[in-house]
Amino acid sequence: MTTRIRPGVAAFVGAVYLFLHVPVAVLIAFSFNASRFSAAWSGFTLDWYRHLFERDDLLRATARSLLVGVSATAIATVIGTLLALALARHRIRGRRAVEALLYAPVVTPEVVAGVSLLMLFASVGIPLGLGTIVLAHATFCLPFVVIVVLARLSGMDRSLEEAAMILGADEIATFRRVTLPQLAPGVLAAALLAFTLSIDDFVITSFVAGPGSSTLPMLVYSMVRRNVEPTVNAISAIIVVATTILIVAAERLTHASPDGRE
């Protein structure tokens, strides 16, 4: 139901929305700016996007980010889904402790998570590289996967499963043919979420990265620090558009109806 909102409040709210979106919009707009140094518009060009594809290091960093993202997402999604199933469907002794353990990484500052992992790898003697990045990413993605899958599980209608079991299907068959298909959109949404988190991570990655394992955010960070204009605008624009698509897809999947499959 819509009620009157005073025009003053509406204007204020509009201003806040502008505050939220204008900076990035401007950034993207200026990725097409022909001038290299000034913030004054001097003509439209796609040069900076062309430059992106000439930069070997950018392409390799993107490939690494994708590789890390897929690997970390796979680990986090599998382990996280199992954990969510355990929490939702089974009695577990020490449930409270498990929940605390699960939500603790969410509130832990990234810097602390990053340095503590670095210290772990340094002490045990694991060489830093893409592998350590994957391990770190899987760790901070895990709680988010569990949260999303749990939400999906709690919204699911169990009567279908009960019906299947009454009709004679055993647990595994029920899981495979009734539970999993219903769960799939939630798992997929969790995976997309984990992937987005992994692709964007800078702080934790910068601590545990090793030789030749610069990911895209690390490269963008050094480009931002060195004012590599406006090529960095172009790569930023691509990142924003790509993550938007991923998130919209995840949102759609989260709201897909439970019996939409099969």
Tokens (6 digits) for 198: 């992994």
| Between 97 and 163, CB nearer to another protein | 97
217, 239 contact by CB (below 8 A): no
Spell out the residues 6+ positions from residue 205 whose beta carbon is closer than 8 angstroms to its own: 114, 133, 136, 137, 215, 217, 218
CB of 50 to another protein, least distance (A): 19
CB of 173 to another protein, least distance (A): 16
| Between 67 and 79, CB nearer to another protein | 79
d(Cα 216, Cα 221) in Å, to the nearest integer? Answer: 9
| Between 160 and 240, CB nearer to another protein | 240
Q: Please report, in angstroms and rounded to a whole number, the separation of the first and last CA atoms in the chain.
A: 36
CB of 182 to another protein, least distance (A): 17
d(Cα 197, Cα 143) in Å, to the nearest integer? Answer: 12
Residue with tokens 């624009």: 237
| Between 227 and 262, CB nearer to another protein | 227
CB of 113 to another protein, least distance (A): 8
